[in-house]
Amino acid sequence: MITDTAEVPAESPSRARRMYRNQLEIDFSVWWRRGAAVSLVMVTIFGAALIFRGLNLGIEFEGGAVWEVPADDVSAGDVRDGLAGLGLADASIQTGGGIVQVRAEVEVTDTEAAAAVAVALADVVGADPEDVSFSDVSASWGEEVTEKAVRALIVFLIVIAAYISMRLEWRMAVGGLVALAHDILVTVGVYALFQFEVTSATVIAFMTILGYSLYDTMVVFDRVRENESRPSLAGRVAYQDIMSLSLNQVFMRSLNTTVTSVLPVLMVLLVGSFGFGAVTLREFGIALLVGLLAGTYSSMFVAGPIVVMLKNREPEYAALIESAGTSGQAELATLAAGGATPRRQRGGTGPSAPKRPPSTVIPPRPRKQKRRN
């Protein structure tokens, strides 16, 4: 096992066992190409949805008033009839999911008028007026909320970029932030595509995704950093191999963490959707679910390859691509197999082992070639 070369043991019957033991040997550079295609398609679809369909913004952002009352078996027409004469002719009425929602585009400044609507609505669905929930948001508030969120986002990105640059390196900061942007675009894109309503809950969920995506990327990069500085690998193995190795090593961790994070979120979504009419939970749930999955994916398939790309521009690593990083392959295979690099083997990996390829070997041309692969 120790001497296996880095081939994907796709047909190996013991794959599950190897996964369990962190002995995966997935060649991620192959998957990155597929991932790039997937990402491109997703970004295109969701980007287009965002541009052409736009977001279905809730009153938090647009201003307006919403009445909600729990009710089953009430048609929108009934509700509209019941509210006739209350100046809500333009209001949009949604029924279903155990909730009737009446939304007016304009703010209701008169509390008595708002109360009258609540009474009428309660009357239609046969509920107590006290069961009607009412929200009213001024248009300027929506602008302010949006502005604040955008400002927070920008500061957040700057601070985080600085943090990763200091803690790790700027290339990783770039990779992390691109992954972050990818996750947000995908999640927001889902909302645009399916026209789910964006509420303040959704914004919070987006923010969570920022945090999660970043956290996940940090964990992966930390491992890359560790491998990078291994004496047996440093300067001897091409960067994509180091990245691939690291991703293999953290694969089970990522999988497990995703499972433990997604399970509760899935429950939030299910309970929010099918029971209790807890609309807010449902609003959180969709964004969180999509975002969590995107976060795990992007750490491996967006952040990783971007860092590899940037790193390969460096003379030191470009040289290794040329020499195909042969000198460190044995160690790489050993590490990938989850095996030790036993002490007695250390000195004996071959005569070429201790030699670091001099950085003068780098011809600039092949760099480009490699990147296009």
Partner 1 sequence: MRRNGLLSLIGILAVVSAAFIASLATGQRPLLGIDLTGGVEVVLEPVLTDERPDGPTEPELDQTVEILRNRVDALDVAQPDITRQGSLVVVQLPDVDDQQRAIEIVGTTAELQFRPVCSVLPVALDVDDAIDQGLIDPDALESDDGTDEEGLGFAGEGEYAAPAIPLQEDEPTPEPGADETPEPDAEAPVVDDETPGAVFSDAFVPPSACDADSLELVAEETTASEDIRRDEPVLLDQRDENGLVVQRYYLGPVPSAEIEGEDVFLVGTAVESADAFTNGLEWTVSLVMEPGDGGIGLFNDIAAECFASSAVCPSGQLAIVLDGTVESAPNINAPAFDRSNISISGAFSQSRAEDTALVLQYGSLPIELEQQRIRTVSASLGSDSLRAGIISGIIGLLLVAVYMTAYYRILGVAALLSLFVSGAMLWVLVSFFSETGFFFGGVTLTIAGVVGLIVSLGVSLDSNVIYFEHLKEDIANGRTLRSAVDRSFPVAYRTIFWADMAALIGAVVLYLLTISSVREFAFMLGLASVLDLVATYFFLRPLVKLISRTDIAVERPGLLGLPASVRRARA
Near partner 1 in 327-346, by CB under 8 A: 338-343
CB closer to partner 1, 148 vs 355 = 148
Q: Which of 74, 104, 164, 238 binds partner 1 (CB under 8 A)?
A: 164
Q: Is 366 one of the binding residues for partner 1 (CB under 8 A)? A: no
- Measure Cα distances from 125 to 87, 95, 96, 133, 272 in Å: 19, 11, 12, 14, 22
Q: Which of 151, 313, 346, 368 binds partner 1 (CB under 8 A)?
A: 151
Q: Is 131 one of the binding residues for partner 1 (CB under 8 A)? A: yes
- CA-nearest of 31, 5, 24, 26 to 373 is 31
Q: Is 226 one of the binding residues for partner 1 (CB under 8 A)? A: yes
- The token pair at 200 is 């303040």
Q: Which of 36, 89, 267, 324 binds partner 1 (CB under 8 A)?
A: 267
The one-letter code for the residue type at 145 is: V
Q: How many CA atoms lie within 13 A of 236 on its CB side?
A: 22
Q: Which of 257, 323, 326, 359 binds partner 1 (CB under 8 A)?
A: 257
Q: Which of 272, 304, 305, 357 binds partner 1 (CB under 8 A)?
A: 272
Q: Is 288 one of the binding residues for partner 1 (CB under 8 A)? A: yes
The one-letter code for the residue type at 100 is: V
Q: Is 211 one of the binding residues for partner 1 (CB under 8 A)? A: yes
Residues 293-332 that bind partner 1 (CB under 8 A): none
- The token pair at 50 is 């965002």
Task: Give kind and range of the element (H or E) at residue 103.
Answer: strand 99-104
Q: Is 242 one of the binding residues for partner 1 (CB under 8 A)? A: no
Q: Is 190 one of the binding residues for partner 1 (CB under 8 A)? A: no
* Least distance from partner 1 to the Cβ atom of residue 131, Å: 5
CB closer to partner 1, 50 vs 149 = 149
Q: Which of 136, 183, 228, 241 binds partner 1 (CB under 8 A)?
A: 136
Q: Is 245 one of the binding residues for partner 1 (CB under 8 A)? A: no
* Least distance from partner 1 to the Cβ atom of residue 149, Å: 6
Q: Is 196 one of the binding residues for partner 1 (CB under 8 A)? A: no
Strand 56-57 relative to strand 197-198, pairing? parallel
Residue 175 CA to residue 301 CA, distance in Å, equals 10
The window from 29-37, 216-224, 231-239, 301-309 that contacts partner 1 (CB under 8 A) reads 216-224
Residue 232 CA to residue 2 CA, distance in Å, equals 15
Q: Which of 56, 133, 165, 359 binds partner 1 (CB under 8 A)?
A: 133
* Least distance from partner 1 to the Cβ atom of residue 313, Å: 25
Q: Is 112 one of the binding residues for partner 1 (CB under 8 A)? A: yes
The one-letter code for the residue type at 123 is: D
- Measure Cα distances from 264 to 239, 258, 267, 271, 272 in Å: 36, 11, 5, 10, 12
Residues 18-57 that bind partner 1 (CB under 8 A): 21-23
Q: Which of 77, 231, 264, 350 binds partner 1 (CB under 8 A)?
A: 264
Residue 101 CA to residue 132 CA, distance in Å, equals 10
Q: Is 104 one of the binding residues for partner 1 (CB under 8 A)? A: no
Contact present, 298 and 179 (Cβ < 8 Å): yes
Q: Which of 30, 41, 89, 159 binds partner 1 (CB under 8 A)?
A: 159
Task: Give kind and range of the element (H or E) at residue 343.
Answer: helix 343-346
Residue 357 CA to residue 236 CA, distance in Å, equals 7
* Least distance from partner 1 to the Cβ atom of residue 49, Å: 24
Q: Which of 260, 358, 364, 372 binds partner 1 (CB under 8 A)?
A: 260
Residue 269 CA to residue 264 CA, distance in Å, equals 9
The one-letter code for the residue type at 6 is: A
Residues contacting residue 10 through CB under 8 Å, at least 6 positions apart: none
Q: Is 135 one of the binding residues for partner 1 (CB under 8 A)? A: yes
